[in-house]
Amino acid sequence: QVQLQESGGGSVQAGGSLRLACTASTYPSTNTCMGWFRQAPGKEREGVAIISTGTGTVYYRNSVKGRFTISRDNAKKTVYLQMNSLTPEDTAIYYCAAAQGAPCTYPILRSNFAYWGQGTQVDATS
């Protein structure tokens, strides 16, 4: 059973930075697609960034390109999301997710991800 635990959320002023971490109990496979999603109040959950644990290939939603960076440390089974230049529009609960057998490609589809963390709150205040 794959369990995911997020950490690193918090509250920052607009323009600030946060780094989220997601540690997995195990990966479903040696080439797993790991992703970060977010959900703001009253909005749908949306994909933010994904990374292949095997190839390191990454994809981002357009609104975070150049500001967010996803990375992984396979030895620690941990995926990170470095978030810079945060804006109030980035305020949301951020979820880590792991895919089961799905390819790590764009667009980032919620339906490709079988395992989810509990989420961590990110607030960027103006």
Per-residue pLDDT of 9-26, as tens digits, reads 999 999 999 999 999 999
Q: How far apart are CA 37 and CA 92, in angstroms?
A: 9
Per-residue pLDDT of 34-72, as tens digits, reads 999 999 999 999 999 999 999 999 999 999 999 999 999
Q: CA 121 from chain center: how many Å?
A: 12
| Rg of the chain over all Cα atoms, to the nearest angstrom | 13
Provide the 10 A C-beta neighbour count for residue 119: 17
Cross-strand bridge partners of residue 6: 22
Residue 73 pLDDT level (bands cut at 50, 70, 90): very high
C-alpha distances (whole Å) from 123 to each of 5, 19, 23, 85 are 19, 13, 21, 12
Residue 88's SS3 state is: helix
Does 102 or 50 have the greater pLDDT score? 50
Q: How far apart are CA 93 and CA 103, in angstroms?
A: 25
Residue 96 pLDDT level (bands cut at 50, 70, 90): very high
The pLDDT > 90 percentage for the chain reads 94
Q: What is the mean pLDDT of the chain?
A: 96
pLDDT of residue 30: 86
Q: How far apart are CA 76 and CA 59, in angstroms?
A: 21
Mean pLDDT in residue range 83-108: 96
